[in-house]
Amino acid sequence: MKVKKIIIIGNTASSLYLFRKDFIISCINERYKVICLVSEYDDEWINKIKSLGADTVTYELSRGELSPLKDIKSLFYIKYIIKKYKADIVFSFFSKPVIYGSLAAKLAKTPKIVGMIEGLGSPFTEHPNGQNFKMKLVRFFQILLYRVVFPFLDKIIFLNKDDPIDLIDNNNIYHKQNAVEILGPIGLSLSDYPYKLWDESQKVSFIFVARLLAEKGIYEYLEAAKIVKLKYPNVEFKIIGGLDTENPYGLSKEKLDKVIATGIIEYPGFVNNVTAHLAQSAVFVLPSYYREGVPRSTQEAMATGRPIITTDVPGCRDTVLDGVNGFLIPKWDVNALVDKMCFFIENPEKINIMGKESYKIACAQFDADKVNKKLFKIIGINH
């Protein structure tokens, strides 16, 4: 009996392992041979992917650069890999892999080609002072390339209902009939994020988990923390996430050090035990205006049983029932963020009440087993 093969094309090996592990295992359980293509990697993450039972192939593709010649070279290398393995399905994630991985799959005459757009990302993120020229250029070329690729994709998967409207409908991008699907959150293994009641004898504390970028709302979080700390000195504020000094909208190390020196926030930096930090905190805050798919950090906080304060923007708004498991606030609105933080400080009994509602939503919508069954159905993998 012929073994069916699925090639999964991503960018970083770490994100492929952390966010696709359950999907890879599910495919292997369905007797598919899984081949993972990654462009940013180290031995540790490559070995972790291999430990799942998947083959791993490395390729070159720059996430941030506009480099047509390099990208075309990568396109033909990916085509070579797809033909070598005689893939039955090519499934790509993120914008560049979806564009070049899908083109390569088309050239290799792959029977089924699937792309997943997990949020529209920086090119579609609106900034308070407008977008810089480079990002406008990236957006222009991205839309151009989607016009080329989308017509032959068998399935184009989005995580939220806003993204296909803003990308496909508003730009009149042609696609196959019934190709567009809304998956919802990618999901997570709930056992990795055990539900835990917040200890009401502790000080109220807020936690922000994301890369320290303007788009993720780091500046609004810091500003709100400064204001709230003046009124309630005992309240604690924590930040988990790495600096991204290459990003023009990133928080600089100098600014971060200044804030740490004031004692307003606690910053353990990049950590491997996010779950423990979530369990020790009362309320999760993500004032993001980035074009998220559905933020994973919020899903993790909800599975742990934490109420959420986030923005009423695509992706983020899909995680909160306003007033039930947390609050939705307008983007860039520090005063609204302060107001909702003060609500939890003044009504601490609401933390576990709303946190339990977060947990219920997580069980219903974020369970990786349920999500993978839905994904298999969309892709056409028998389950």
Q: What integer pLDDT is reported at residue 250 of this predicted model? A: 79
Nearest to 348 by CA among 381, 307, 302, 291: 307
- C-alpha–C-alpha distance, residues 292 and 207, integer Å: 19
Q: How confident is the model at residue 3 (pLDDT cuts 50, 70, 90)?
A: confident
- What confidence score (pLDDT) does residue 331 get? 96
Mean pLDDT of 109-123: 95
The residue that leads in pLDDT, 61 or 370, is 370
Contact present, 355 and 197 (Cβ < 8 Å): yes
What value does the mean pLDDT take over residues 307-330? 97
Most distant CA pair in the chain, distance:
69
Tokens of residue 1, six digits? 């009996």
Q: Are 249 and 214 in contact (CB under 8 A)?
A: yes
| Predicted local distance difference test score (pLDDT) of residue 140 | 94
- At position 168, the amino acid (one-letter code) is I
Tally Cβ neighbours within 10 Å of residue 22: 20
Q: Under CATH, which number does the domain 190-365 receive?
A: 3.40.50.2000
Least confident of 165-169, 189-193, 228-232, 327-331: 189-193
Domain map (residue ranges) of the chain: 5-187+367-379, 190-365
Angle of CA points 100, 106, 107, to nearest 5°: 90
* Equal CATH topology for 5-187+367-379 and 190-365: yes
Q: How confident is the model at residue 68 (pLDDT cuts 50, 70, 90)?
A: confident
For range 70-94, the mean pLDDT = 94
Confidence of residue 66 (pLDDT cuts 50, 70, 90): low
Question: What's the mean pLDDT when you consider all of the chain?
Answer: 93
User: Model pTM?
Assistant: 0.93
Tell me the per-residue pLDDT of 337-347, one tens digit each, with 9 for 90 and over: 999 999 999 99
Domain 5-187+367-379 superfamily per CATH: Glycogen Phosphorylase B; (3.40.50.2000)
